[in-house]
Homo-oligomer: A and B are copies of this chain.
Amino acid sequence: MAIILRLDRVMADRKMSLNELSERVGVSNVNLSKLKTGKVSAIRFSTLEAICSVLNCQPGDILEYVPENIPPQ
């Protein structure tokens, strides 16, 4: 799980609640909550696009790749 979701960060930055984002994006608050808490393993571009549009941000603000650290032997 090296792709992590940073939706919470952008939402906090924009001071936007989950319910408001849900209404404006057109995705249920349940599913947005899953996105927000990293409980999804894929994303449709239609959803990503709507989120970026409403939050005025880029995919890179929401999706982050964190390399698995190689544990020292």
Contact = CB atoms under 8 A, between A and B. Distances in A.
Number of copies: 2
B49 A58 contact: no
A72 interface: no
Contact of A58 (B41, B45, B48, B60): B60
Nearest to A59: B63
Interface in A27-47: 40-46
Please tell me the size bucket of the interface on A. 20 to 34
A63 B47 CA distance: 13
Given A2-B49, A2-B52, A42-B43, 18 more contacts: A3-B48, A3-B52, A3-B59, A40-B45, A41-B44, A42-B44, A49-B65, A53-B65, A57-B65, A58-B60, A58-B64, A59-B59, A59-B63, A59-B64, A59-B65, A60-B61, A60-B63, A63-B63
